[in-house]
Structure 1
Amino acid sequence: MKKIQLQVNEFCLQAVLYDTPAGQAIWDSLPISAKGNLWGDEIYFSIDARVKMENGREVVEEGDLGFWPPGSAFCIFYGLTPVSSPGEIRPASPVEVVGKIIGDYKVLKQVKSTPKVTITPSE
């Protein structure tokens, strides 16, 4: 696994990218800076990475990092989305899970406006 740092507004989170082709494609595109969008308890933003969907998942877990092919978007999941059912987190459509936040992702629930996101390699 490759360690990354997510800076979302004033919050700094540690995460990992999985050793998969999708995780490697995102690693190769670092650093990434973007203005994110909120969709329930998900932050997403377009990135310039060639990621193939290999294991699309319709349900994800809190703290998962995903890639959403229709929008070429990196997704940070930290709670329910508008299409979630009780007890499950559902993306708009299947995503490739590429990594996981390590630590307290729930601080992201404090983000209320267009977040500024930076993703960099971490040691």
Structure 2
Amino acid sequence: MKIRISWPAGHVTATLDDTPTAATLLAALPIDGTAHTWGEEVYFDTGLTPALEADARQVVEAGTVAFWTEGNALALPYGPTPISRGEEPRLASPCNVLGRIDGDPRALATVRAGEAIHVRKA
């Protein structure tokens, strides 16, 4: 399943894997939130509360679509965060991996903290 994530300056699409958290997210769409940034990561509260999955990871690839269960937030890293070692995207804590941004995840660099962000089925 594909989703579209949009904000005032742009949008990306993402392909989600078949995971319990991805199914929870898809069932709740559309979702609107307020963007926050942390280094080269965009995240926003979804109001969802899925459980941490067994294969949750803290270090992921740029462009990973992740769910931060501790913050009820979708986490979209496109580069290093303040706790990264080198260029790796390191999330605040282990997150459920839902899928991947289609194309260049650096498009997320145009998201500004406080902007409205929207997630819809693509």
Could you state the TM-score of these two structures normalised by the residue count of structure 1?
0.91
The residue that corresponds to 1:20 in the other structure is 19
SS at match of 1:106: helix
User: Whose strand fraction is larger, Structure 1's or Structure 2's?
Assistant: 2
Question: 1:8 Cα deviation (Å)?
Answer: 2.3
The count of aligned residue pairs is 121
Which one-letter code corresponds to 1:118 in the other structure?
A: H
Q: Distance in 2 between matches of 1:15 and 1:42?
A: 15
1:121 aligns with 2:115: no
The answer on whether the counterparts of 2:3 and 2:15 sit within 8 Å (CA) in structure 1 is yes
In the alignment, structure 1 segments of 5+ residues that lack a partner are none
Question: 1:107 Cα deviation (Å)?
Answer: 1.9
Percent of aligned positions that are identical: 35
Q: Distance in 2 between matches of 1:59 and 1:31?
A: 28
SS at match of 2:21: helix
Could you state the TM-score of these two structures normalised by the residue count of structure 2?
0.92
Question: 1:87 Cα deviation (Å)?
Answer: 3.1
In the alignment, structure 2 segments of 5+ residues that lack a partner are none
Listed as ranges, the matches of 1:13-92 within 5 Å are: 13-54=12-53, 55-92=55-92
The residue that corresponds to 1:109 in the other structure is 109
Which one-letter code corresponds to 1:107 in the other structure?
A: A
Structure 1 residues 118 and 91 mapped into 2: Cα distance closer, same or farther (>3 Å)?
Answer: same
Any runs of at least 4 consecutive aligned residues in structure 1 with deviations exceeding 3 A, and if so which? none
